Amino acid sequence: MTRFVERRVRRSNDPMIALHHQLSAVRNDASLDAVVLADSTGCVVAGAGSWPACEELAAFSPYFTGETGLCNQHVAREARNLASNTHFRPSRIEGVDVVLCAQGPNGVDVPWHMSRALSGCQRILTVGR
């Protein structure tokens, strides 16, 4: 007898909770400290990890995507300090520019997990899913 194992243990019909579950799973599987989906202005859409780390990643995300005109030299210096352990991937979901950021010095297969996270966020946020 073949037994089916559901890969998604925690589920929710609430998109915000579903996003958190998605990002938490990626954070754990990739051994990251924090994973956050931010909008183009640097605000947290959803995150997993300590809230201060998520807020900081989101706030610096415009700098990571090349929007350096949005910050002064002090902010740019702080962003460079974060950058060594930070992974980011800009994307567009339902016509909205977003940035997925992940942070952690010991990340495992981070590019693959970032793709997985973006696919999950796209699925969760797509209207009429």
- Tens-place pLDDT, residues 1-47: 444 334 455 677 788 999 999 999 999 999 999 999 999 888 999 99
Whole-number pLDDT of residue 86 = 86
User: Pick from 26, 65, 63: which is nearest to 46 by CA?
Assistant: 26
Residue 80 binned pLDDT confidence (cut-offs 50, 70, 90): low
Q: Are 22 and 124 in contact (CB under 8 A)?
A: yes
Q: Where are the domains of the chain?
A: 15-125
Residue 112 binned pLDDT confidence (cut-offs 50, 70, 90): very high
Q: Are 101 and 87 in contact (CB under 8 A)?
A: yes
User: Pick from 99, 24, 90, 20: which is nearest to 57 by CA?
Assistant: 99
Over the Cα atoms of the chain, what is R_g?
A: 15
Contacts (Cβ under 8 Å, ≥6 apart) of 18: 11, 12, 124
Whole-number pLDDT of residue 2 = 44
User: Pick from 115, 125, 117: which is nearest to 36 by CA?
Assistant: 117
Q: Which two tokens stand for residue 10?
A: 């925690």
User: At the topology level of CATH, where does 15-125 sit?
Assistant: Beta-Lactamase (3.30.450)
